[in-house]
Amino acid sequence: MNKLQRLDLTHNRIQNIQIIQELNQLTQLYLSHNCIDQMEDIRGLNKLEILHIERNRLKNLCLPTSIKIFYASNNYIKDINCLSEMSNLASIKLNHNLIDDITPLCALNKIELLELSKNTISNIESIGNLTELRCLNVNNNRIYDISVIHNLKNLQRLCAANNKLQIISVVQYLNELQFLDVSFNQISDLSSVSGLNNLIELLVEGNNIKSIQSAQQLKYLSHLCCSSNPIQIESLYNIQQVIQLQLRNVCQNAEDLKYLKYLTNLQVLDISKNNLEDVSMLENLTNLEQLNISDNKISSLNSLSKLTNLVWLDASNNMLEDIIGLDNISYNLSYLNITGNTIKLTGNKINMYDLICMNEQLFVNSLCSLDLSDIQLSKQDSKMITKFTNLKSLNLSGCKLASVGFLTNYTKITVNDFTTYQQNLLSLQKLVLSNNNNTDVDELVNLVNLKELDININKISNIDCLANLVGLEYLNVSGNQISNIDYLANLVGLEYLDVSGNQISNIDCLENLVGLQTLLISQNKISNIDCLENLVGLQDLLINDNKISNIDCLENLVGLQNLEASGNQISNIDCLANLVGLQTLLISQNKISNIDCLENLVGLQTLFINDNKISNMDCLENLVGLEYLQINDNKISNIDCLENLVGLKYLQINDNKISNIDCLENLVGLKYLEASGNQISNIDCLANLVGLYKLLINDNKISNVDCLQKLIYLKFVNISNSCLENRQYFSRQMLSSQIHDLHLCDSKLQNIAFLKYFKNIYLLELNNNIISDIEVLEHLQQLQHLYLNNNNILEVKSIKKLKEFEIQNNYIQDFRPLQKHKNYDKYKINNQKIPTQEQYQIYNNSKIVKKSFYKFKAAEKGAEKFKNKLKTIKDELQHKISQFETNFIQEMTLVRQLFQQDGTQ
């Protein structure tokens, strides 16, 4: 063993590697997918050149300096200082860790490959001199600026997606680039790529790019993805070299995509989510092999009849009623998805059985994946399914099946004949039967090749038959009536198991399923989860809505990334202190009062701890990676600890005892803020939150909302039941006119004339005020949801486009203006009170006053107009007089000169 040079111990449960220190001749060591948390034992392996230790529990690094290739992705590494001494490093992969500082890499000038995706890096200046770099991956970080890479002349592959980039002009200096991914940033200008003559793949999805003309000059470009951009499609016209093109969510109709007909070299095309009604522009693209036209409004596939090279077609979620057109393209088709349509497989339309018979040998023998979800199958269609001899994946979810017997005998739906089944569907590896009416799945007992089985949302109570399916890796039986899962004990190959939403009380059978990575047991009757303590491979665990009070068994599950334990009886969570890999933690609706153990969970991105007994949350101050925080319904009065959590995007602090929110002033990344039901009186600090999109601050003591004027992106606002009343703050300047959703209930509002400026309002809630006149609402053309309950309204006129309208408990006696509305029957107009004569008089007087006011304003405007006209006439006369005087003087001068000349003569 002392002479061993290569050792591979991947995919085990190793925790201690002390024995390896004796193997001093090792040059290659593979330890990925284990439970290792420290590396000091290999520091002495001075001949080690290759080390793979991905998916372990590492927090710190201690490595021999001889290493050239180091892969340690998916750990909990934050500090990489030890790498500064490793001058031989040529390849590093540290994706999905907790790294925020990469300064130690600055002198590693032999590095050719560097992967740092899914960390918390914001500054990459340290890699500016790593001139040997060929591949750089910094996806999913917090990087604003990549200008430092201008010296990396050898860079061939650059991945910088999901950051905060606005400018990528630096790429113009990277002449060797072959692959560039800057998707999901804030880029608007792509002109800098025009000189990248070696570029083969360009991915710019999810930006603000309008033109891709600069890509026309890239003669080797074969793959272009510009989905989710406001692209001007005509700029595609000359990009003939591209063979793979993704244009998902870029336009609103087929006319916008007409230029696609010129791209005859295309082999792969995605035009999903474009509101298309037809795809006639594709009929001559005969080289197409893969086509995605899902999520449109397409009603016919006839335009595809010439595309005989298609092997993959997704036409899901359209408006197809038949599948005529597929008969000519079935020669090579191996994947077909037509789910989410209104296809009539029988009756007057062509049915699946007829389609197969047209080209039985070609179609049946080639198709390996079939999705027929949400389609009601006939007996003939059921018979057809068993003809697919190479079918590996079958989706029959939502087909209203009461039995799966037809899979075992295609002549009778209710007969269980496994012999026929085995002959015809022996290759099946994935079967989806969710959302049906099945009560019995015993017919599945011989599906021994199944790897994935989904039978969720049925009426199944017994799953004994699954004990024989030992090849299963994915099993979903959620939403049934199962109480006993003991038969799952033998399914040791399971990696994903969902038994949530059943009647299970005992899960001891899971203790040996050590391969589990995802386990969902929510919404059952479970009180004890001690059997989980050895499932060290778990990454996602959901135990919501049970009767669990003790979770100490989770202490050693340091691989956990997502834990949901809401709706239980948990009071102590100290066991979570070591789970530094947690990214999501949901523990709402428990009995927790102390959360100090969370202070070291610096990788947390999402934390929900609503409805507990928490009064102090200072421990959160170092969780700078938090993006989503909910801490509603607790006893919190001080939130100063949030001051430095600048990464927060979503914050809920409703129903606490908070009076001061000044600490939010610097959280400029906030998009959603909910602080309802507190004791807040001053919100001036919100003026800096210029990106705020949704704000709920109702039920507080706020008297001034002037600060909201600057929030131009604010769309949803609730300031009901505050202390604003009917003051001057309700004006045109109070809020951005872009408001989409406005709630002003319980605000003692009487005059709502200011609403005429809010042209974009879609939902308006004004319940429990003292409003009598709503005439202004007729001008809100976008308004579709209106709530006016409990006011003093006496008259209602037609307000167009209303889908939902509540105006109960008012004084209206005549609803005829609304009766022409198509949604009138759904309106809530009950409990109208009889107005008194005095109310009528006041209302009529106010109308007279208003009418007089409008007449006065009109007269005033007319007088002003007349005054302006008189001034214009006066100015014109003055100008003409001045012009006349000037001309007269000039003419008299000329006459005088003539007389003088005559006198001289």
Q: Mind spelling out the 3-state secondary structure of 649-699?
A: CEEECCCCCCCCCHHHHHCCCCCEEECCCCCCCCCHHHHHCCCCCEEECCC
CA distance 589 to 586: 9
Q: What residues contact residue 645 under an 8 Å CB cut-off, 6+ apart?
A: 620, 621, 623, 624, 626, 629, 667
Mean pLDDT value of segment 297-325: 87
At 145, list the tokens.
């600026």
pLDDT at position 379: 64
Q: Is the pLDDT of residue 534 over 80?
A: yes
For 697-753, the pLDDT digits (tens) are: 999 998 888 888 888 889 999 999 987 754 544 555 566 667 899 999 998 888 888
Q: Please tell me which residue, 258 or 529, carries the higher pLDDT value.
A: 529
Tokens of 778: 């007729």
Q: What is the pLDDT of residue 417?
A: 33
pLDDT of residue 573: 97
Q: Using the CB atoms, write b or e for 797-812: b if 16+ within 10 Å.
A: eebeebeebbbbbbbb
Higher pLDDT, 872 or 466: 466
Range with the largest mean pLDDT of 56-70, 245-259, 342-356, 403-417: 56-70
- Angle at the Cα of 891 from the Cα atoms of 885 and 894, rounded to 5 degrees: 145
Please give the pLDDT value at position 367: 65
Q: Which neighbouring-strand residues pair with 157?
A: 135, 179
Return the residue matching tokens 């015809």.
424
Q: Are 52 and 74 in contact (CB under 8 A)?
A: no
894 φ/ψ angles, rounded to the nearest 5 degrees: -65, -45
Pairing of strands 290-292, 268-270: parallel
Q: Which of 819, 772, 828 is nearest to 799 (CA)?
A: 819
Residue 512's SS3 state is helix
Confidence of residue 386 (pLDDT cuts 50, 70, 90): low
Q: What is the dihedral of CA 717, 719, 724, 726, to 10 degrees?
A: 60
Distance, in Å, from the CA atom of 383 to the CA atom of 424, rounded to the nearest integer, reads 11
Helix (H, G, I), strand (E, B) or coil at 127: helix
Q: How confident is the model at residue 416 (pLDDT cuts 50, 70, 90)?
A: very low
pLDDT value at position 779?
85
pLDDT at 404: 67
Sign of the dihedral through C-alpha 666, 667, 669, 672: negative
Average model confidence (pLDDT) across the chain: 86
Mean pLDDT (whole number) for 643-663? 94
CATH superfamily of 165-242: Ribonuclease Inhibitor (3.80.10.10)
Does 214 or 882 have the greater pLDDT score?
214
pLDDT band per the 50, 70, 90 thresholds, residue 408: low
Q: What are the CA-CA distances from residue 363 to residues 313, 389, 549 (Å)?
A: 13, 10, 56
Q: Which has the closest alpha carbon to 633: 696, 671, 678, 566? A: 678
Q: b/e for 180-195, b at 16 or more Cβ within 10 A?
A: bbbbbbebebbebbee
Residue 544 is predicted with a pLDDT of 98
- In terms of DSSP bridges, do strands 135-137 and 157-159 run parallel, antiparallel, or are they unpaired? parallel
Q: Could you tell me the pLDDT band of residue 251, with boundaries at 50, 70 and 90?
A: confident
Residue 853, pLDDT score? 53
Poorest-pLDDT segment among 80-84, 397-401, 800-804? 397-401
Quote the CA–CA distance of 641 and 623 in Å, as a whole number.
10
Is domain 254-343 in CATH 1.10.3720.10, yes or no? no
Confidence (pLDDT) at 733: 56
Q: Which residues of 116-141 are buried (b: 16+ CB within 10 A; e: fewer)?
A: bbbbbbeebebbeebebbbbbbbbbb
Q: Concatenate the DSSP letters of all residues of 574-616 into one string.
A: GGGGG-TT-SEEE--SS-----GGGGG-TT--EEE--SS----
Position 613 scores a pLDDT of 96
Average pLDDT over residues 637-644: 94
- List the single range of 191-200, 690-699, 754-763, 887-896 with lowest mean pLDDT: 887-896
Q: Can you give the pLDDT at residue 903?
A: 61
pLDDT of residue 294: 94
pLDDT one-digit tens code per residue, 766-781: 999 999 999 899 888 8
Q: Which long-range contacts (CB under 8 A, 24 or more apart) does 707-714 make?
A: 707/683, 708/683, 708/734, 708/735, 708/736, 709/733, 709/734, 709/735, 709/736, 711/686, 711/687, 711/735, 711/736, 712/736, 712/738, 713/738, 714/738, 714/739
Superfamily of domain 370-460: Ribonuclease Inhibitor (3.80.10.10)
What is the sign, positive or negative, of the torsion defined by CA atoms of 66, 68, 69, 73? positive
- For residue 47, is pLDDT > 60? yes
The per-residue pLDDT for 381 is 64
Gap between the Cα atoms of 485 and 431, Å rounded: 20
**E strand or H helix at 863, and its extent?**
helix 837-904
Residue predicted with more confidence, 647 or 898:
647
Specify the DSSP class assigned to residue 10.
-
Whether the predicted pLDDT of 307 surpasses 80: yes
Nearest C-alpha neighbor of 702 from the set 682, 720, 717: 682
| pLDDT beyond 50 at 677 | yes
Scanning the structure block, which residue is given the tokens 């004569």?
837
**Two tokens, residue 49:** 């050149």
Q: Which residues pair with 695 in a beta bridge?
A: 673, 717
Q: Which amino acid is at 648?
A: L
| Number of CB atoms found within 10 A of residue 728's CB | 9
Structure tokens at 663: 């600490």
pLDDT band at 758, cuts 50/70/90? confident
- As a whole number of angstroms, the distance between CA 180 and CA 493 comes to 38
Q: Which helix H or strand E contains 92, and what residues bound it?
A: strand 91-93
How many residues would you count in the chain?
Answer: 905
Using the predicted structure, report yes or no on whether residue 74 has a pLDDT greater than 50.
yes
Give per-residue pLDDT as tens, 478-491.
999 999 999 999 99
